[in-house]
Amino acid sequence: RAEDEDDVSPYKEMKTLARAVELIRQDYVNEDQTSYEDLIYSALRGMLEELDPHSDFMEPKDFKSMQQDTRSEFGGLGVVVGLKNQRLTVVAPMEGTPGFRAGLLPGDVLLEIDGKSAEKLSLRDAVEMLRGEPGTTLSLAVSREGEPEPLRYEIEREVIKVPSVRGARVLEGSGPKIGYVRVTQFSEPTGREFSRALDDLSRQGIEALVL
């Protein structure tokens, strides 16, 4: 029936959404929060969050960041950052990267990134600020246990490559030759990296594999 078709049509509810957006733009007290993009992105985030914990809306900048992660190659400092006691903290600098060479240490608390306080930054925003075009310079201020004053660094970003297949080797011991290889994450290069590791282990005559 015609009325049943109307029930599944999105246009009526789209009018409701459009009207709500216009009212917010017209009447909300803070104009900085009422651009069409901000409002529609917020609506999309809410819509996806209502489905289940695994559904999410990604803004273009978040999608770009995800693509960098899956390529395992990006411009940055080469430091893993996490939240510890609600503070942005260096978990570990990756060996051979600009952050490692500059002297950043596990446990360093980020105070400033390019002159901006890191106190209220989300982990996602902090990672986005740390990354950037190779060859550009980033200033950091960190707090380190045992140091009375903040430590300041000027670090040039480089292309950071994150291998996802590590530790390929033949395990020691008598008996059958057993190969070992560890996959730390799944990304675009993982298949190629694993294939190379397995070929190398096969040339060494392994009879079994611990993956």
d(CA 181, CA 202): 12
Phi, psi of 63 (to 5 degrees): -65, -40
Q: pLDDT tens digit string along 59-94?
A: 887 787 777 666 666 889 999 899 998 899 999 898
d(CA 123, CA 82): 7
Q: What does the mean pLDDT of the chain come to?
A: 88
Residue 1: per-residue pLDDT: 46
- Residue 196 DSSP code: H
Residue 40: how many CB atoms within 10 A of its CB?
Answer: 13
Q: pLDDT tens digit string along 134-146?
A: 999 999 999 999 9
